[in-house]
Amino acid sequence: MQAALLDPLAPSPRGRWSGHGVQVTRRRGPHRVHPASATVCTARFCVHRRAQWLAVEHDLTPGELSDELTVLLTEQLVDTGVLRGQSEFELVFTGVVRSTVDGGLSAWLRFYRNSLAALEHGDAAFAPIHAEAAAQVRGHRLIDLGSCFGFFPLRMAALGHDVLATDLSHSAMRLLDQVSARLCRPVATLASDATDVALPDGSAHTVTALHLIEHLPTGALHAVLDEALRLARRRVIVAVPFEEEPRDCYGHLQRFDLPRVHRLADELTARHPGITAHAYAFHGGWLVLDR
């Protein structure tokens, strides 16, 4: 995945960011008519594609930088057919953040602060999912698998939990290290494949995998759930989206509905004697596994 190889803090010119054939520029001043017929304009973006080069112009402000950018990009650039696949989506996402605020760490700190405020005040689309997961956590020691930006680990750190965030992306974990320190929300990080975490059995009271397993092929999906149970002393919390079709722009490979979550529960309790499972629907699907 190209975007995962990027350094999110690499220097870039003011108001502009580029990487892997994508350039994102923040527009200053009113929208202007583009002479190129290949340019597609939406309410907030203008996109021009030429051979292997993609140029994106936007008018977002620092106050609009948050994880809700996912929704905006999906509605205006993915659902309209302008962006192609997960890599372009992630590259443009990074470019919008970096081109809106000068300085790599300053840009991401603004993004994190805005995102956490929206999530914790219930104003973001993902807010109910984080609130439900937080309510289900047991004990003070938490491991989060597939943390990505690490919003949930940061939330739980602010509530006083001892949190380890893990993700396959080294760059995401390095960014989270720097951000968590400056936000005074201490989160330990580990760049790790969620199928094989180099920690002893029972390392945490609760292990969470929130919107992770839909990104995985079937074999890895089961391996992650087995690994989560190995790491958890008391509880594993799994959340998945319900979609008609897996969203390619998010890197989703698996489609879930409530019957499939129930089947997962049955498979896990058969494979792990002594485990109880509760499957239910709430803004997607949930699977809570207890010892």
Instruction: Please state the pTM of the whole predicted model.
Output: 0.95
Say if residue 210 is exposed, middle or buried (CB neighbours under 10 Å; 0-12, 13-18, 19+). Answer: buried
Give the tens place of pLDDT for each residue, 52-73. 899 999 999 999 999 999 999 9
In this prediction, residues 263-273 reach a mean pLDDT of: 97
Give the tens place of pLDDT for each residue, 171-225. 999 999 999 999 999 999 999 999 999 999 999 999 999 999 999 999 999 999 9
Question: What's 108's DSSP letter?
Answer: H
pLDDT value for 51 = 85
Q: In this structure, what token pair is assigned to residue 78?
A: 């993915």
| Per-residue confidence band for 2, with pLDDT thresholds at 50, 70 and 90 | very low
Pairing of strands 141-144, 204-210: parallel
How many angstroms separate the CA atoms of 271 and 76, rounded? 44
* CATH number for the domain whose boundaries are 126-290: 3.40.50.150
Distances (CA, A) of 148 to 79, 144, 283: 23, 10, 20
Give the tens place of pLDDT for each residue, 25-55. 999 888 888 876 788 999 999 999 988 899 9
Q: To which residue do tokens 């839909």 refer?
A: 214
pLDDT value for 83 = 94
Q: What is the DSSP string of 120-131?
A: HTT-STTHHHHH
The residues, ordered by sequence, that sit 6+ positions from 288 with a Cβ below 8 Å of its Cβ are 136, 235, 236, 237, 238, 277, 278, 279
How many angstroms separate the CA atoms of 254 and 244, rounded? 10
pLDDT value for 28 = 87
The HSE-up count of residue 90 (CA atoms within 13 Å, CB side) is 19
Q: In this structure, what token pair is assigned to residue 112?
A: 């994190």
In this prediction, residues 148-161 reach a mean pLDDT of: 98
Question: What's 77's DSSP letter?
Answer: I
pLDDT value for 178 = 97
List residues bridging with 25 in a β-sheet: 16, 57
Domain ranges of the chain: 3-109, 126-290
pLDDT value for 38 = 80
In this prediction, residues 95-116 reach a mean pLDDT of: 98
pLDDT value for 166 = 98
pLDDT value for 5 = 59
Question: In whole numbers, what is the pLDDT of the chain averaged over residues?
Answer: 95
Three-state SS string across 206-268, please?
EEEEECCHHHCCHHHHHHHHHHHHHHEEEEEEEEECCCCCCCHHHCCCCCCCHHHHHHHHHHH
How many angstroms separate the CA atoms of 69 and 41, rounded? 17
pLDDT value for 1 = 36
| Per-residue confidence band for 6, with pLDDT thresholds at 50, 70 and 90 | confident
In this prediction, residues 117-125 reach a mean pLDDT of: 97
How many angstroms separate the CA atoms of 291 and 275, rounded? 5
pLDDT value for 235 = 98
The HSE-up count of residue 73 (CA atoms within 13 Å, CB side) is 25
How many angstroms separate the CA atoms of 97 and 95, rounded? 5
